[in-house]
């Protein structure tokens, strides 16, 4: 990353920076030295020599770092209003030469907030805080060809990426039926029609996702070698008029405070309260995704020792497996062969945050409750930092019973959390 770039104030006067002054070749010609002003007079120089030396004006040098800036370019997301895109502070010439677009000013007006938008499949992304989008954005994609973007490090100190799905809409599971090995039609287990995947060489488990994921994010371990890269891939099945995306790609240096580098967190939330959802939770008529195995982490805030999780008020907010035999809360060994979430050391109350009791880890069924065989939701408290929720779904279909196709979508998981003081 380039820093301490120098620009010259009053650039139009560069041509006048030097003036050669000669003596009087003829009796009637007077020697003159022009005055150069830089807010105040630099002074006149007169000598009786036949030839003067070079006279330079003094120009102020302005230095500024290529830091992040808030641009005047806006993103409009359904239901969330408009937000401003982030950019990087460059000179106008640098912004243009790097393929960016000026959107507002920075560095007290001496630089421009440069926004990088990438819409070409196969393009290489080299600038921090770039936005990769479908062609014709904000209109939907009009092609079914596979699309990819190659992410290269903007600096060798980068170890991870954050992908923010500012807009993300592709086909989900479609509620299509599958055929079991016993030739019995079953409701889907969340197999994607379209897919989005991230390819890295670090061995990180990054789930393939699809559907509606605006507002979601991922942290990607790209590696600590200067040559390490990542690839973002889209693949499609059939025609659709809802394929549209804009993903902000932020590059994060190694050992950056406040980021989950190397902690196995695919998602990372901060703050005393918040909400976490599984991928493709937004639509109410589609299923959660199959083959998901990742961790959602929450930063422990100073002075807070526990987190309390509650099911969101949205419909089917804990429907990770809707088998008829699971229409109640299940914990631990009852969750070994079906979809589940893990909250390490979960317990029923945060009252004993200074001396937490041993709790249960796995939760499944269609009710979140620290007790098994319950028909009502109940909060789960976790006082064993670091705080995280692990998501696990298999590739099996969900069924109501051995003879009846599932009529209730397995929407996934939505949890509200709040941190509890010590």
- pLDDT of 28-54, one tens digit each? 433 333 332 233 333 333 334 444 444
Determine which of 8-22, 234-248, 262-276 has the lowest per-residue pLDDT on average.
Answer: 8-22
> Would you state the pLDDT for residue 209?
97
Q: Based on the number of CB atoms within 10 Å of its own CB, is 335 exposed (0-12), middle (13-18) or buried (19 or more)?
A: buried
279 occurs within a structural domain: yes
Nearest alpha-carbon partner for 68 in 124, 96, 106, 99:
106
- Final residue before a domain boundary, out of 244, 264, 284: 264
If you average pLDDT over residues 353-378, what whole number do you get? 79
Statement to judge: residues 176 and 278 lie in one domain: no
Q: What is the model's pLDDT at position 63?
A: 67
Range of the domain at 241: 119-264
Residue 67 confidence class, pLDDT cut points 50, 70, 90: confident
If asked whether residues 249 and 300 sit together in one domain, one would say no
- Copy the structure tokens of residue 121: 């499949």
* Residue in 369, 290, 302, 292 with CA at minimum distance from that of residue 334: 369
Q: Using pLDDT thresholds of 50, 70 and 90, give the confidence band for residue 2.
A: very low
Most confident option among 67-71, 268-272, 363-367? 268-272
101 lies in some domain: no
Q: Does 240 lie in the same domain as 330?
A: no
Q: What's the structural domain count of the chain?
A: 2
In the predicted structure, residue 352 carries a pLDDT above the cut 60: no
Statement to judge: residues 281 and 202 lie in one domain: no
- 283, 225: one domain: no
Backbone CA torsion sign across 363, 367, 370, 371: negative
**pLDDT recorded at residue 3:** 45
Q: What is the dihedral of CA 204, 205, 209, 215, to 10 degrees?
A: -60
C-alpha–C-alpha distance, residues 311 and 378, integer Å: 8
- Asked if residue 229 has pLDDT above 80, the reply is yes
Query: Residue written as tokens 């002075």?
Result: 303
Is residue 290 located within the same domain as residue 248? no
Classify residue 94: in a domain, yes or no. no
Q: Are residues 257 and 339 in the same domain?
A: no
Same domain for 388 and 292: yes
- Show which of 217, 238, 264 is a domain's final residue: 264
**More reliable by pLDDT, 354 or 382:** 382
In a domain, 39, yes or no: no
Q: In this structure, what CATH number is given to the domain that contains residue 381?
A: 2.60.120.290
Residue 398 lies in a domain: yes
> Are 305 and 333 within one domain?
yes
Q: Are residues 212 and 297 in the same domain?
A: no
Residue 208 predicted with pLDDT over 80: yes
Phi, psi of 365 (to 5 degrees): 80, -155
Q: What is the pLDDT of residues 110-137, one digit of tens each?
A: 899 999 999 999 999 999 999 999 999 9
């Amino acid at each position: 990353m380039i820093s301490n770039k120098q620009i010259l104030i009053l650039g139009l006067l560069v041509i006048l920076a030097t003036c050669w002054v000669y003596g009087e070749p003829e009796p009637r010609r007077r020697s003159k030295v022009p005055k150069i002003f830089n807010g105040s007079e630099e002074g006149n120089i007169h000598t009786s020599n036949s030839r003067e030396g070079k006279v330079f004006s003094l120009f102020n040098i302005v230095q500024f770092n290529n830091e992040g800036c808030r641009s005047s370019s806006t993103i409009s997301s359904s239901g969330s209003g408009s937000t401003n895109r982030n950019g990087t502070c460059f000179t106008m010439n640098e912004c243009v030469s790097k393929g960016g677009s000026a959107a507002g000013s920075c560095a007290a007006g001496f630089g421009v907030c440069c926004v990088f938008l990438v819409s070409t499949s196969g393009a290489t992304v080299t600038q921090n805080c770039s936005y990769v989008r479908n062609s014709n954005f904000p209109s939907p994609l009009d092609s079914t060809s596979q699309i990819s973007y190659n992410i290269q490090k903007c600096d060798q100190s980068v170890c991870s990426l954050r992908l923010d799905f500012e807009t993300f809409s592709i086909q989900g599971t479609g509620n299509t039926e599958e055929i079991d090995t016993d030739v019995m039609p079953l409701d889907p287990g969340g197999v994607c029609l379209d897919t989005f995947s991230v390819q890295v060489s670090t061995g990180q488990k990054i789930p393939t996702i699809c559907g509606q994921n605006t507002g979601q994010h991922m942290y990607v371990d790209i590696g600590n070698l200067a040559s390490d890269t990542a690839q973002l891939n889209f693949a499609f099945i059939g025609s659709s008029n809802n394929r549209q995306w804009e993903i902000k790609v932020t590059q994060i240096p190694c050992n950056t405070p406040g980021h989950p580098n190397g902690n196995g967190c695919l998602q990372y939330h901060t703050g005393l309260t918040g909400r976490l959802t599984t991928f493709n939770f937004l639509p109410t008529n589609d299923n959660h995704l199959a083959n998901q195995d990742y961790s959602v982490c929450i930063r422990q805030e100073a002075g807070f020792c526990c987190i309390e999780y509650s099911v969101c008020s949205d419909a089917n907010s804990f429907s990770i497996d809707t088998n008829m035999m699971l229409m109640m809360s299940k914990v631990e060994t009852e969750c070994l062969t079906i979809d589940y979430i893990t909250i390490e050391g979960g317990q029923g109350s945060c009252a004993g945050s200074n001396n937490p009791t041993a709790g249960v880890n796995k939760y499944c069924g269609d009710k979140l409750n620290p007790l098994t065989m319950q028909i009502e939701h109940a909060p789960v408290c976790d006082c064993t930092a670091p705080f995280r929720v692990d998501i696990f779904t298999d590739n099996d279909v969900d069924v109501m019973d051995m003879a009846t196709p599932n009529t209730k979508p397995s929407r996934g998981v939505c949890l509200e959390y709040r941190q509890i003081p010590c």
